[in-house]
Amino acid sequence: MDQLKKILATPAARSTAFYYLGNFAVSGGRYLFHILLLRLLLPSEYGEFLAYLSLLYILGIPNATVNSIVVKFVSDFRGKNDRRSVNEFFYYLIEKLTPLSLFLGVTLIILSGPLSVALKARPTAFIILGASLFISLLSTVIKSYLLAFQHLVAQIVIGFIEILFILGLAYVFITLGLSATGAVLAQILAGIIGVIISFWVIKKEVLPAILKTKRSFSLRSFTGYSLIYAVGSISLLSTDVLLARYFLTEHLSGIYSSLAVIGRTIYFGLGPLIGLVLPIASHRHSLSGTARSVFLKLGGVILILGIIATGIFVLFPNLVISFVSGANYLEAAGYLPLFAITMLLFSLNLFLINYLMAIGRPRVNLNLLIATLAQPLLILFFHQSLGQIVWLNLVLEVGLLISLIPRLP
């Protein structure tokens, strides 16, 4: 007990606890947004919104790659007290990534018509999503700097501000008749506000710009594996929703979407801790050559909290569905225990991959790539019912966990 109190009394433990609890509250606010939509929209309309959101996640794969790169390299620069590289790296990324974000945005706008037919949705929302991609890229770079510099309080405050704007704007837009498109627009506008505030916090790190010489950074090796991580972590959360929207009826796709959002509460609740693994372990490994204590402490907390949350969903599925979604979505209750276990395993898998990346073993992402490629192929053959999609996701996560454990040092 004395040893536990000593650990909890350290500044790192206190800041980590604050960050987690604050992010948990922010995640709760984001969850209120989905509850609001579940209450205001019919299952078919909510399925449409989550299809938009899932597509946005997939298009954001380059941004997720950037997040891992920024956190890893800026954390290393901090460990070496290399402030010049911190500054130059910011503008290097913006210059290299702007053409890609513009290309993806224009492509999405051009394909808005065919996508609206395939996903049974409105083309206007795809046009809005395409226009927002550059803002999304800028947001990723800036907020990754926040995380790398461990501005934990600022992240929490900005998260709360975004939530307030999302809830207010979504309610207004949906009331005005914009339906799922209004929910998408609310998220984008709130994100722009968050970017402005975040840049103000990190401005002393990146202003004034040091551009006297053209600086190049060697990112190729880590970038490739970071891209695989981004593809895998995002695709495993989004591809099933998009394919369910395509293969199942509009009503059943809405039921699956509600199941996905509720079950993924486990991952989103643990996400803040998983997000700390890469910067903290990278920084610790850069300083001392080992990060085992980070693995044990953060891993233990993630496992305990994940088991508690999963246990609630497994024991009280009907109560959870009724409270969060309402009677229209009770069909999902029978599958919630399986989905909850899947999300716990998914969270543990991402924790292990982040830790191995932090200590210089990024090749482990190849295991994630195999699972990512397998998911759509399995759904292509097994989509006759909602239950088949739920079960195959569980089998994938079990297999991925079994493949990762032998890679630990």
Least confident piece of the model among 34-48, 89-103, 211-225: 211-225
What pLDDT, in 10s, does the model give residues 26-46? 766 777 777 777 777 776 677
Over range 276-292, report the average pLDDT: 74
First to last CA, the chain: 28
Do residues 254 and 47 make contact, with C-beta atoms less than 8 angstroms apart? yes
Predicted confidence (pLDDT) at residue 1 exceeds the cutoff of 50: no
What pLDDT, in 10s, does the model give residues 72-91? 777 777 767 777 777 878 88
Model pLDDT, residue 24: 67
Residue holding tokens 């939509």? 37
Residue 212: burial class (beta carbons within 10 Å; 0-12, 13-18, 19+): exposed
**For the chain, what is the total number of helices (H) and then of strands (E)?**
17, 0
Predicted confidence (pLDDT) at residue 300 exceeds the cutoff of 70: yes
Do residues 180 and 45 make contact, with C-beta atoms less than 8 angstroms apart? yes
Predicted confidence (pLDDT) at residue 345 exceeds the cutoff of 80: yes
Model pLDDT, residue 349: 92
Grade residue 8 by pLDDT with cuts at 50, 70 and 90. Answer: very low
Model pLDDT, residue 7: 46
Mean pLDDT, the chain, integer = 78
What pLDDT, in 10s, does the model give residues 259-282? 887 888 888 778 778 877 877 787
Whether this model's pTM surpasses 0.85: no
Q: What three-state secondary structure class fits 360?
A: coil
- CA 279, CA 19: separation in Å to the nearest integer? 14
What pLDDT, in 10s, does the model give residues 123-138? 777 777 777 776 777 7
Do residues 33 and 170 make contact, with C-beta atoms less than 8 angstroms apart? yes
Model pLDDT, residue 18: 67
